[in-house]
Amino acid sequence: QKEVEQNSGPLSVPEGAIASLNCTYSDRGSQSFFWYRQYSGKSPELIMFIYSNGDKEDGRFTAQLNKASQYVSLLIRDSQPSDSATYLCAVNGEYGNKLVFGAGTILRVKS
């Protein structure tokens, strides 16, 4: 079983809609959760992080964490074509000093 699971997609949403990206993890001791965005042919860049249960909002992005269910999600409101990318979920590893990445979800926003 992979430590961090994501649906590979592609997830297709129309422009202006809400995109919902999901991630589950296996290590109950994980404390930190991150979302990276990666455009095709580019390197990953951090867009959100969350440490506590609940929601964290930053502009059009909302990260949601449920540690009991070992589930973290990213909502993108008012999706734009420029949001089309692969979104990588990352969780801190066993000893807290390494990240474990999911395989990523491809998001396509159609205008």
Partner 1 sequence: NAGVTQTPKFQVLKTGQSMTLQCAQDMNHNSMYWYRQDPGMGLRLIYYSASEGTTDKGEVPNGYNVSRLNKREFSLRLESAAPSQTSVYFCASNIKDPGEQYFGPGTRLTVT
CB of 32 to partner 1, least distance (A): 5
Half-sphere exposure of 74 (CA within 13 A, CB side): 31
**Terminus-to-terminus CA distance in the chain, angstroms?**
37
CB of 103 to partner 1, least distance (A): 4
101 lines the binding site for partner 1 (CB under 8 A): yes
Sheet hosting strand 54-58, strand order edge to edge: 4-6, 19-25, 71-76, 61-66, 54-58
Contact status, residue 64 vs residue 54, Cβ threshold 8 Å: yes
Q: Which stretch binds partner 1 (CB under 8 A): 15-23, 56-64, 66-74, 96-104?
A: 96-104
105 lines the binding site for partner 1 (CB under 8 A): no
Q: Which of 14, 39, 45, 78 binds partner 1 (CB under 8 A)?
A: 45
Half-sphere exposure of 7 (CA within 13 A, CB side): 12
96 lines the binding site for partner 1 (CB under 8 A): yes
Residues within the interface to partner 1 (CB under 8 A) = 4, 8, 32-34, 42-46, 49, 88, 90, 92-93, 96-104
